[in-house]
Structure 1
Amino acid sequence: MKKCSVSKRHFNRVIKNQLNNLECSAQSVLNQTHFVESSVVNYVEVGANINASSSDIISNNSEISSSIPLLHNYIDNENDKYINTDHLLIDSVVNIQNDKISISNSSSSSDEETFSNVLANNIQKSSESTENIFQELHKWSIEYKINHNALKSLLTILRKTLTFKTLPKDPRTFLMTPKITLLRTVTPGLYNHFGILNSLNNIFKNEVSVPSIIKVSINIDGLPLSKSSSSQLYPILGIVKNYKPLDNIVFPIGIYHGNEKPSCFNNFLEDFVTEAIGLYNKDITVCGKKTRFEIQMLLFDAVAKASVLQIKGHSGYSSCSKCTAEGEYLNGRMCFPDITFIERTDNDFKNQTDENHHVGQTILTRIPGLNLVSDVPLDYMHLILLGVMKKLLVGTWIFGKPPHKLPSRIIDEMSTQLISLKSYIPCEFSRKPRSLKEAKRFKATEFRLFLLYLGPIVLKGILDSTKYDHFITLHYAISILVSNKAFECQYVDYAEQLLKHFVVSCRLIYNEEFMIHNIHNLLHISNDVRKYGPLDVFSNFPFENFLGQLKKLVRKSSDVLPQIVRRLSEIQHLSYENFNKNNTHILTTSEFELLKIKQTNNILAEHCFGPQFEELIFPMYKLTLAINNRCCKLKCNTIIEIFSFGYESQSKLPIVIGKKYLNVIDFFKKPNHSSLIGIHFVSELNQYD
C-alpha cells in the first residue's frame, strides 16, 4: 500500500483548494462532512450518495484527491430531511502522527465495506447525540423558566448551524405546547382537569416497575397568587405514597383559578370524583402494566377541609372533624376547654348524625372505600408548626400580652443566641435561624427548627421552669411522633399522654382562651400516627413546595389558568421530577460517595491509609469537616467529632477518623431523659478513636 507524507500546512492548503473545487461542481444539496486536523474537526460540505465510494466523490483535478476518504451525509432530496453526522469518526482512515499526516491510499472492497460500517454506526450515534442535546435543551428551558421570546431567539441562533438545522423555529413546537386548552366553567372561575390516570402514566414512564396497588394521597388547598389582587388557585394534587422512588413527586390532577374560591365545591370536584369512581375496584393500566388504584388519604388545612367536606369551619361550635366536642366563645374566639370527647366515626359522617357539624353533602362520599373521618388525617404542618408553635412563640411570648409576653431585652438576647447558632446548623436544614423580630414571617420549617432543635436550648433560663417544662412536653411528644419511634405502639401511647398533659396545662398556665381549635386537635393527632406512621408521612410539606413552583409559572396577570396548563403540559413531556424542587436522587443504603480529596495530611489512625477526604455522603445526609456537619452519633451510641475520612487497611472501606466525647449526659430529664430522643450534652474530646 502506497503512502505519502505531507505537512499539516501543505495539507490544509490542498484541502482548501479541494473545497473550492467541490463547491463549484456540487449539483445537490450540501451536507456536513468532517476532516481531522490536529484533533480539530473541520467542516466539509459535499452532496453525494452515501453508498458512493470515495473515488467517485473526489474530483480527479486535485493532486491528492484519490487518497482522501471524505465522510458525508446522505440527503433524501424528496423529503429534504437531514441525517445529522456531527460526530463522525475517521481515525480509522486518517492518522495524525506528530506534525505529519500520513494518508493511506486504499480502494479495496473490504476498506469500502469497513468505511460504510463505520459511517453507519457514526450516523446512528450522531443522531442519538443530537436527540440528547434537544432533550437537554428542553430540560434546561423548563428548569430555568426560560420564556418563549428568549427561547425563540436562542432557537433562531442555533438553527444557523447545520447541526441544529432541524430545530423548530417556534418554541411552542419545540416544547410541544398544546394549541388548545380545555377549560370548564366553575363559578366564579375556570377549571382544568389533567386527570388521575394521565398523571400516573406520566410519573411512572421512567420507572422499571409499577406497584400492584397505587396508593395516592390527595391534597386540596388554596393558593393566592399575589398580595395586590384576589386572584387565587385551588389545585387538586396527588402523590404516590407506597412507591419509594416517587414518594416525593407531586403531580397535578386538576386546577381551578378565579378571583374567589369556588362557590360550589361539589362542582369543582366533579371531574375528580367521576374519574376516581371509574378507577376504583378494577384493574387499570399504567405504562403498560396492570395495577389498581386507591386513595390512601385526603390532606387539607382547616379552611380547605371545611370547604371540601362541607362541614363547619374552625370558628364553628361543632367544628372538630375528629370528635363531637362543642366549643364555646371566649373573648371573640372559639375555644375547647373541655378535654373529654366522643370520637366521630366514618358512618357518623356518612349518615350526618351530627347535624350541627355539616353544612352540606360532599360528593366525595360517592368514592367507594374512602372514609371521610379516618382517611382525613390532621396536618402536622398547619396544626402544630403554623398553629400551636406559632401561637406560643409569636402570639404569646414575643408579640403577646402581659404577663406572658417576654421583655424586649430578653427577646433581643434570644435573637442574638439564635443567630449565633446559625453556623452550627447542619446543611440538611433548608433555613437557618434568624432574629425573633421576624417571627411573624417565619415559615413552617423555621417553626419546626425551633420546636424540635433550638427551642430547648434558647428557652432554657429564659422561661420560668413551669413554662419551660410545659414547652419541653410538647417538644418531647412531637420528637417521638416525627421519628421512627412512631412505628412502636408504646412510644405513640406515651406521646399521646404527653400531649394530653400539654393541653390540660395550657388552660392552667395561660388561660381558657388559649384552648383554641389547634390546641384541641393535639388530642387527636396520635391516632393518625397509629394509622399512617410518622407525622411527615402525612404532612403537607411536599405539596407546599409544589405550590411554590406552581406560582412561578404565571408570567402575566391575564389568562392565568391557560398559562399554567401550557407550562405544566411542557413539563409533562419530560417528567414532574424536573419540576418538584425536592427531587434529589436518594441513594440506597449500601451506596455512598466520597468527594473533595483533602490535600493536607492529617494524622491517620492505626490501620488506616489515605487518601483522605473532606466529605462522606450517605443516602439521607452527609458528613463533612465543617463545624456544622462534623459531629455524629455512631451505632454504638458513641458521639464523635470528625477530623478526616480515610480507608481501613484490610477491608479497604471508607472510615471516619475523629475524636469521641468522653462526657455524655442528658440535656434535660423532664418529662423524660433527653437521650431517649437523641439529645445530649457533651464535653471533653478524647484522642483519635
Structure 2
Amino acid sequence: MNSRRYPLASLSQRRLRRLRTIERNAALENNAAAGGNIFPEVQNHLADIYPADTVMEDDTMHMFEVNNETESGAETAAETEISEMDMSETDVPEADDEEADADFLQKISQWATEGISIRKVNEILNILRGHQCFAYLPADSRTLLKTPRTMDVQNIGGGSYCHIGIEKGLTQLINVNPSLIETDTIRLQCSFDGLQLTKSTNSQLWPILMCLTDFPSIPPFVVGIYHGNEKPTSCSEYLAIYVEEMRKLKTDGLQHNGMVISVIVTCYVCDAPARAFVAQIKSHTGYFGCGKCTIQGEYINNRVTFGEVDAALRTNESFSLMVDEDHHVGRSPLLEIPETQMVSRFAYEYMHLVCLGVMRKLLLAWMKGSLNVRMQARKINLLNERIVGIAKLMPLEFARKPRVMQEVMRWKATEFRMFLVYTGPYLLEGILSSSLFKHFLALHYAIRILLSSDLVNLDYGRTLLKYFVKKYEVLYGRESMTYNVHGLLHLADDCRVHGSLDRFSAFKFESKLYQIKRLVRNPNLPLPQIVRQLHEQSFFPQRVHAMQREILRENKVSHRTLPFDLEGPGYSHYPLNNATVSDKAPNNCVVMKSGEIVVVGIISSRNGKIYVVGKPFENTSSFYERPAPSYNTGIHLASNLLDDKLWAFTDIRGKAILFSLS
C-alpha cells in the first residue's frame, strides 16, 4: 500500500488493524524465507508496533493461511476469490477518507489566497508535509493554488494590459449563484477608474470593473487591468478588447448550459476625469465639461464656474452625432457597442460628486472660507466636542468613527456621507448661522430623498437641489460654483433612470480597487502579480448568503428571568438584513414597521420564533421642520421611555442611531 497517498491517520480503525497485520506477517514470512532466524531487537520492535491482542485475530490468521497455500499452489477458486476481495478492500481507501483530504486541501488553498505571502505558504506546506498524514500536499504554493504559468499581456497605450473577460466572470458567478439566471437578462454596471499604486512613483492601474445591477450584495469582478506610469495614452486601445467582447455578448448573448442569456450594461459609474477620458469629452475643468447639459462655463478667479441652472439638456442622439463640437475631443469607442446611450447611462454618482465634492467643499468653507461663512474658533471647538461625544454612539455598521474638524482633509468618502446623511443636522444645530444651517438642511433632505428606495418625493428632491445651487452662489460667491455644485442639478434625473443613489454609487467599486491594490506584494511587475492572484481567488468565489454577517451568540446571563413567557435561548446579537441588532447600546435602537422607536433590552425566542423586548418612546416629533418635517425621512425627536413591550423580530423595519440631546 502506498503510505504517501493514503496516510495511516486517514484510515478507519478496522482498515488500520488489517494493514498492520499484513505488514507484520509479511515481515514474519520474510524471516521464515531467510531461515527462520529473526534478530531479537527486530522482533521486539515489531511486537511494540503490532500488539498481538489487536492483530492476531482468527479471521486474519485464516487469511494469511490461505495466502501461504496460494504460494504452494494449493488454494481453491473460492479461496482465491475471498483473498482477492480482502486485499482489494485493503488497497482502496474509503470514499470518506478521500473527501476529507479534498476538503482539507480546499480549506488550506482558500486560506492561502487571503493575503498570505508565498514564502509563508511554502513554509507551512513544508511543515505539514513533514508529517505522514499530509504527505499528499504539494510542496509549492503555485501547485496548491493552481497558479497559471502564462498570461496574455499586451502592450497598449503606453503600458501593458491584461483582459480577464466578462464572460469568464459571469460564468463563475452563475456557477456559484444559480439564481442569477432566473431571468433571461443580466444587467451590469461598469466602472473605469485610475489607481495610484505608490506615492513615490507614477505607477498606476486602470482596472475595468463590473457588477450586477440587480444583485448589489455580490461584489464587483475584474474584466481587465491596465498598468503604466500614466493613464492610457489611447482610449481606443485601452477599450478595444472590452468593446469587442461586449459587442459579441450583445449580439450572441451569454451561452450557459444550453441557455442564451442577454447581457446589457445599464450604467457606467466613473468620476469626472475617468468619464471625460472614456467618453472622449472635455474635462470637468473645461468650458463645456458638463456631460448632461450644454452650459458654457465662465472663468472666475482661476477656475471655471457654472452659474446657469436652466441650460438645455443633451440627448443620446446629439451625443452620438457629436452635434456640440466644443464638448467632444474625439469619438468614444463605447459608441461601437450597439444601443449604448452615452448621456443617460453615464450617471453622476454621489460618492465623488456630493461626498468628496460638495460636502467637503462646505466643511472647508466653514473652517477656512470667507468671513461671512467661516465659523468662529469657539464654535469649531464646540463642534469637535459634539463629534467626540457621538463617536462612541455610532453602531457597528459604520466602519469609521467620526473625526474632529482638524482632520477633515484626511476624511474618507464614508465619513463625509455619514456627516451629510446622518450626523450633520445634530452636530451643526446652534453652531452654524440660521441661513447656512437651513441651506445645509436643503442638501441633507434632498440627498435622503434620493437615497430612499421608493423615490416618491423625487420631484421635491429636484426642487431642493435647484434651490441649494441657486442659494450657494449667494452665500459662498459665484467663484465657488464649480463642476460638482452644478452637477447636483442632474442627480434627480439620474435617479429617475437608475434608481436610488446607492444603486449606482462608486462605493462598491472603490472597495474593489482597494482589494486589488493589496494584491501587489512587490513593486516589480505588479500586473502579473494581480492577475495570478485573481486567478487563484476565482476558485473560491463568494456566495450571496456568505456576504451577510451573521452573529448569533447565546447570552451567558442564564440567571435572568425572561418576561412574556419567553423560553430561550437568548441572543446578544441577531442579524437584520445587512445590519445587526444587539441588546446593548449603541446597537439596540430599532424602528418598528408600526413607526414606533424602541430601545431593545432582550432578544430571545419562543416556539422557535425570535422576539425582542424593549422600551418604546412615548413622544416622537420632527427634529426640524424646514425644508420639510424631518420625520418624513426618518429623523425624529423622541422622549419618555415607556415600560417593556414584546415584538416579533420580523416586525423590525430597520436599525437607528440614538443620540442624547443632553
2:193 pairs with 1:237: no
User: What is the alpha-carbon distance in structure 1 between the residues aligned to residue 103 and residue 221 of structure 2?
Assistant: 25
Instruction: Tell me, yes or no, if the aligned pair for 1:426 and 1:628 is still in contact at 8 Å.
Output: yes
Determine the C-alpha separation between the residues in 1 that align with 2:472 and 2:505. Answer: 25
Deviations 1:344-371 (A, max 9, x none): 0000100000011001111110000111
Per-residue deviation, 1:622? 1.5
Out of 131, 136, 145, which is 2:107 matched to?
Answer: 136
CA distance in 2 between partners of 1:141 and 1:35 (Å): 23
The letter of the residue matching 2:205 is: L
**In structure 2, distance between residues paired with 1:214 and 1:485:** 23
Query: Given the alignment of the two structures, is residue 681 of structure 1 paired with residue 637 of structure 2, yes or no?
Result: yes
Structure 2 residue matching 1:358: 3-state secondary structure:
coil
Q: CA deviation at 1:511?
A: 1.3
> Which of 158, 169, 193 in structure 1 is aligned with 2:139?
169
Which segments of 5 or more consecutive residues in structure 1 lack a partner in the other structure? 1-25, 71-107
Q: 1:41, CA displacement in angstroms? A: 12
Matched, 1:125 2:83: no
For the residue of structure 2 that corresponds to 1:485, the secondary structure is coil
Q: Residue 463 of structure 1: CA displacement?
A: 0.5
- Matched to 2:431, the amino acid is I
- Where does 1:259-274 land on structure 2 (aligned, <5 Å)? 259-274=229-244
SS of 1:216's partner is strand
After TM superposition, give the deviation of residue 286 of structure 1 in Å: 3.3
When residues 602 and 398 of structure 1 are mapped into structure 2, their CA distance, relative to the original with a 3 A threshold, is farther
Choose which of 391, 394, 401 in structure 1 pairs with 2:361: 391
Corresponding position of 2:306: 336
Aligned-pair CA distance for 1:250: 1.0
Task: Tell me what 1:92 maps to.
Answer: none
Does the CA-based 8 Å contact 1:484-1:534 persist in structure 2?
Answer: yes
1:214 lines up with 2:186 in the alignment: yes
Give aligned pairs, total: 606
* Equivalent position of 1:555 in the other structure: 521
SS of residue in 2 equivalent to 1:608: coil
Q: Does the alignment pair 1:659 with 2:630?
A: no
Q: Distance in 1 between matches of 2:413 and 2:127?
A: 45
Q: CA deviation at 1:615?
A: 1.9
Q: Does the residue aligned with 1:522 lie in a helix, a strand or coil?
A: helix
The yes-or-no answer on 1:419 pairing with 2:388 is yes
Deviation of residue 604 (structure 1)? 3.9
Which amino acid in the other structure matches residue 535 of structure 1? L
Distance 1:28 1:308, change over 3 A: closer
2:221 corresponds to which residue? 251
Contact 1:33–1:43, Cα closer than 8 Å, also in 2: no
Aligned equivalent of 1:404: 373
CA spacing shift, 1:69–1:266, aligned 2, 3 Å: farther
Could you report, residue by residue, the CA deviation over 1:285-333 in whole angstroms, capped at 9, with x for unpaired residues?
1366431211111111000001111100011111100000111011111
Cα distance in 1 between the residues matched to 2:517 and 2:419: 27
1:595 aligns with 2:566: no
What residue is the counterpart of 1:531 in the other structure? 497
CA distance in 1, matches of 2:14, 2:84: 26
Inter-partner Cα distance in structure 1 for 2:576 and 2:102: 34
**Alpha-carbon shift at residue 375 of structure 1 (Å):** 0.9
Which secondary structure state, in structure 2, belongs to the residue aligned with residue 474 of structure 1? helix
Structure number having the greater strand percentage: 1
What residue number does 1:586 align with?
A: 548
Change (3 A) 1:356 1:125: same
Residue 282 of structure 1, CA deviation = 2.1
Change (3 A) 1:287 1:604: same
Partner of 2:397: 428
Structure having the larger proportion of residues in helix = 2
Give the Cα separation in 2 of the matches to 1:470 and 1:485. 25
Q: Which residue of 1 aligns with 2:595?
A: 637
SS of equivalent residue, structure 2 residue 454: helix
| 1:204 shift after superposition | 2.0
Shift of 1:399: 3.0
**What TM-score, normalized by structure 2, do the two folds share?**
0.85
d(CA) in 2 for partners of 1:343 and 1:68? 95
**1:616 aligns with one of 571, 574, 577:** 574
Q: Cα deviation per residue 1:96-154 (whole Å; 9 max; x = unaligned)?
A: xxxxxxxxxxxx999999989997996211111111111111110111x1222221122
1:302 aligns with 2:272: yes
1:504 aligns with 2:470: yes
Query: Shift of residue 36 of structure 1?
Result: 11
| Distance in 2 between residues matched to 1:568 and 1:526, nearest whole Å | 37
Aligned to 1:291: 261
Q: Is the 8 A contact 2:278 2:332 kept in 1?
A: yes
Whole-Å separation in 2 of the counterparts to 1:356 and 1:30? 71
2:523 equivalent to 1:545: no
Q: Retained in 2: the 8 A contact 1:34–1:41?
A: no
Secondary structure (helix, strand or coil) at the match of 1:374 reads coil
- Asked whether the 8 Å contact 1:605–1:688 carries over to 2, the reply is no
| Distance (Å, rounded) in 2 between the aligned partners of 1:627 and 1:330 | 50
Following the alignment from structure 1 to structure 2, what is the Cα–Cα distance between the partners of residues 222 and 480? 31
Say whether the 8 Å CA contact 1:602–1:644 is kept in structure 2.
no
Quote how far apart the aligned CAs of 1:419 are: 1.3
Match of 2:536 among 570, 573, 594: 570
Residues 573/653 of structure 1: CA separation in 2 closer, same or farther (3 Å cut): closer
Amino acid at match of 1:561: L
State how 1:458-469 maps to structure 2 within 5 Å: 458-469=427-438
C-alpha distance in 2, partners of 1:360/1:116? 76
Query: Over residues 13-61 of structure 1, what are the superposed CA-to-partner deviations in whole Å (9 max), with x where a residue is unaligned?
Result: xxxxxxxxxxxxx999996446999x99999975969xxxx99999799
Report the Cα distance in structure 1 between the residues aligned to 2:341 and 2:90, rounded to whole angstroms. Answer: 63
Matched, 1:626 2:596: no
Give the counterpart letter for 1:320 in structure 2: C
Deviation, 1:407, is: 2.3
The residue type equivalent to 1:213 in the other structure is T
The residue type equivalent to 1:401 in the other structure is: S
SS at match of 2:369: coil
Deviation at 1:593, TM superposition (A): 7.2
Secondary structure (helix, strand or coil) at the match of 1:260 reads coil
Q: Which has the higher contact order (CA 8 A, sep 6+)?
A: 2
* Counterpart Cα distance in 2 of 1:413 and 1:483: 32
Q: Separation in 2 of the partners of 1:433 and 1:596? A: 31
Q: Aligned in 2, Cα 1:28/1:509: closer, same or farther, shift over 3 Å?
A: closer
For 2:370, give the aligned amino acid: K
CA distance in 2, matches of 1:467, 1:421: 22
Paired residue secondary structure (2:611): strand
> Identity over aligned residues, as a percent?
33
Q: Within 2, Cα distance between the matches of 1:160 and 1:40? A: 26
After TM superposition, the score normalised by the length of structure 1 is 0.82
User: One-letter code of the match for 1:671?
Assistant: P
Query: In structure 2, the residue corresponding to 1:173 is in which secondary structure?
Result: helix
Which moved further from structure 2: 289-298 or 469-478? Answer: 289-298
- Asked if 1 retains the 8 angstrom alpha-carbon contact of 2:551 and 2:580, the reply is no
TM-superposed deviation, 1:642:
1.1
Contact 2:5 2:135 in 1 (8 A): no
Deviation at residue 409 of structure 1 after TM alignment: 2.5
| Cα drift, residue 428 of structure 1 | 1.1
Correspondences of 1:309-324 after superposition (within 5 Å): 309-324=279-294
Q: Work out the CA distance in 1 between the residues paired with 2:605 and 2:58.
A: 54
Aligned counterpart, 1:21: none
Whether the aligned pair in 2 keeps the contact of 1:507 and 1:515 (CA below 8 Å) is: yes
CA–CA distance in 1 between the matches of 2:11 and 2:5? 19
